[in-house]
């Protein structure tokens, strides 16, 4: 059995955990990050189908912590317009365009980057930080929290004690459960199938969210590759929300049968599509922890708030949560487990997340229930919303989140 001591233990090496480790190390704390996956997985994560729409707040944070420059420029795809449609026809869409603020360096609503490249870049930045020790292939099996310190034990017998335990082990967090912290879990009883497609016509940097009857489709503009530049067709990410059995059936289809199915489903939104990647499936469950802190413990990332991907905020809230946490700790007594600072973190992060979580779940429920009155309501809703400039400015602000730049 090995016992170590450090200022901060981060449980989980996903994006939120890696970001938290970087933030705390930059403020002079010694950090031990525990991750159940291997070092190879952290170094070279496989493509997982997720294309993350980064807000300006996240991009700003990634720049400050030396991560942004590690993401290849050729893989960044600016989002110029968000287009929302309901029903089969696609008439009366709700459009959110990039506000004209090129003078302030704003030329996109956000930037779309593949998740696996963000994770690789975060890990490279972590490896360049001498204050962070990464212990891989360790699954946390028990943990304790107390007034003086917290401790975790891993499946190989490693024990680490610390002054603050940052829980970042994802939305179905085992560590959260070990600490006795409950969570509101909402099961939408749907699955999300994601993959990359090639298609002839350009996407125009438009992200489409289309609430059709029986399915919700997002088409996200992926950056052009050499094939596209040579006229061989552009790339989009398909995010398809359907019943779990339907997602599994689509995943099993032969590629050509899948391409035919998707081309028909899109009802002319793209011409014939070609499958470019593996098809990945994610169950659609959202999670909101009952509390974000307890003695010498703070929850960040999906372990705190696991969002519905419809408003593209999960990763962004992960960056924001750990940013708020480190700021509160640094502005407190200096003890990373300072209870007053942890309470301030909880208050502030709750203010940030409660309205967004409730609104996102509300939108997701209205726009995925295919009963008559709801269908009529959403068609009318989009028409009215498109005519409301203050509403559109508010939503554009949420999509972009430029809070750190103000
Ligand atoms: C299809 C899809 C599209 C999305 N699009 C967007 C988007 O556009 N914008 C956006 O902001 N967000 C988006 N998200 C959400 C975003 O991907 C997540 O919010 C984010 O990845 C969560 O990061 P995390 O670090 O909190 O958790 P995770 O990525 O789940 O990482 C948790 C880590 O903890 C490790 N771990 C787990 N248990 C243990 C244990 N017991 N011991 C040790 N290690 C452990 C795991 O191996 C893992 O590495 C999307 C999600 C999906 C599914």
According to the model, what pLDDT value does residue 393 have?
A: 60
Question: To the nearest whole percent, how much of the chain has pLDDT over 70?
Answer: 87
The pLDDT value recorded for residue 271 is 84
The number of the ligand 1 atom at minimal distance from the alpha carbon of 18 is 25
Smallest CA separation from ligand 1 atom 30, residue: 170
Beta carbons of 118 and 15 less than 8 angstroms apart:
yes
Containing 195, the helix (H) or strand (E) segment is strand 183-199
Convert the pLDDT of each residue in 44-103 to its tens digit: 999 999 999 999 999 999 999 999 999 999 999 999 999 988 887 766 788 888 876 655
What are the distances in angstroms from CA 55 to CA 52, 111, 312, 360, 404?
A: 9, 7, 9, 16, 10
Residue nearest to atom 38 of ligand 1 (CA): 169
What atom of ligand 1 comes closest to residue 55's alpha carbon?
11
- pLDDT exceeds cutoff 70 at 375: no
- Give the pLDDT mean for 277-289: 95
Q: Is the CB of 9 under 6 A from ligand 1?
A: no
Give the model's pLDDT for residue 406.
35
**Burial letters for 217-234: b for 16+ Cβ neighbours within 10 Å, e otherwise?**
bbbbbbbbbeebeeeebb
Residue 301 Cβ inside 6 Å of ligand 1? The answer reads yes
Tell me if 399 CB under 6 Å of ligand 1.
no
Mutate to test the pocket of ligand 1, among 170, 247, 316, 319 (most ligand atoms within 8 A of CB): 170
pLDDT at 368: 62
CB 13 near ligand 1, within 6 Å: yes
Tell me the whole-structure pTM to 2 decimals.
0.92
Structure-token pair, residue 225: 């590759």
pLDDT of residue 380: 60
Asked if 253 and 203 count as a contact pair (C-beta separation under 8 A), the reply is: no
Ligand 1 lined by 318 (C-beta under 6 Å): yes
Over 90: is that where the pLDDT of 193 sits? yes
Compute the distance from residue 60 Cα to the ligand 1 centre, in Å. Answer: 20
Checking DSSP bridges between strand 297-299 and strand 293-294, what pairing results, if any? Answer: antiparallel
Residue 163: CB within 6 Å of ligand 1?
A: no
Answer whether residue 392 shows pLDDT above 60. no
Q: What pLDDT band is residue 379 in, cutting at 50, 70 and 90?
A: low
Identify the pLDDT of residue 149: 97
| The pLDDT of residue 367 | 60
Dist CA 310 CA 295 (whole Å): 33
Ligand 1 center to residue 202 CA distance, Å? Answer: 30
Residue 318, pLDDT > 90, answer yes
pLDDT at residue 2, rounded to an integer: 81
**Which pLDDT does position 119 carry in this prediction?**
98
Q: What is the distance in A from the centroid of ligand 1 to the CA of 229? A: 32
């Amino acid at each position: 059995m090995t016992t170590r001591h450090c200022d901060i233990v981060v449980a989980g090496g996903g994006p939120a955990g890696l970001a938290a480790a970087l933030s705390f190390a930059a403020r002079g704390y010694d950090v031990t990050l525990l991750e159940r996956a291997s070092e190879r997985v952290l170094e070279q994560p496989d493509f997982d189908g997720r294309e993350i729409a980064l807000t300006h707040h996240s991009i700003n944070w990634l720049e400050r912590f030396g991560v942004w420059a590690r993401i290849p420029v050729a893989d960044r795809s600016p989002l110029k317009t968000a287009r929302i449609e309901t029903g089969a026809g696609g008439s009366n869409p709700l459009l959110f365009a990039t506000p004209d603020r090129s003078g302030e360096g704003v030329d996109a609503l956000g930037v779309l980057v593949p998740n696996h490249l963000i994770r690789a870049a975060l890990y490279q930045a972590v490896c360049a930080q001498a204050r962070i020790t990464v212990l891989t292939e360790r699954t946390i099996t028990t943990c304790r929290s107390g007034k003086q310190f917290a401790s975790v034990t891993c499946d190989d017998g490693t024990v680490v004690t610390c002054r603050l335990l940052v829980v970042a082990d994802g939305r179905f967090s085992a560590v959260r459960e070990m600490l006795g912290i409950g969570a509101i879990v909402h099961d939408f009883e749907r699955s999300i199938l994601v993959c990359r497609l090639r298609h002839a016509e350009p996407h125009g940097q438009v992200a489409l969210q289309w609430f059709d009857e029986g399915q919700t489709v997002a088409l996200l503009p992926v950056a052009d590759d050499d094939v596209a530049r040579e006229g061989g067709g552009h790339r989009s990410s398909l995010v398809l929300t359907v019943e779990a059995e339907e997602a599994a059936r689509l995943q099993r289809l032969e590629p050509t049968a899948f391409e035919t199915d998707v081309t028909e489903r899109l009802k002319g939104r793209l011409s014939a599509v070609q499958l470019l990647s593996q098809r990945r499936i994610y169950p659609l469950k959202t999670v909101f922890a009952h509390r974000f802190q307890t003695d010498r413990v703070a929850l960040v990332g999906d372990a705190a708030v696991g969002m519905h991907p419809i408003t593209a905020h999960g990763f962004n809230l992960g960056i924001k949560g750990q940013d708020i946490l480190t700021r509160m700790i640094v502005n407190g007594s200096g003890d990373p487990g300072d209870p007053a600072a942890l309470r301030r973190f909880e208050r502030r992060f709750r203010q940030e997340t409660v309205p967004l979580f409730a609104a996102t779940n509300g939108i997701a429920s209205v726009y995925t229930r295919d009963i008559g009155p709801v269908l009529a309501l959403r068609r009318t809703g989009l028409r009215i919303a498109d005519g409301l400039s203050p509403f559109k400015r508010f939503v554009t602000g949420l999509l972009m989140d430029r809070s750190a730049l103000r």
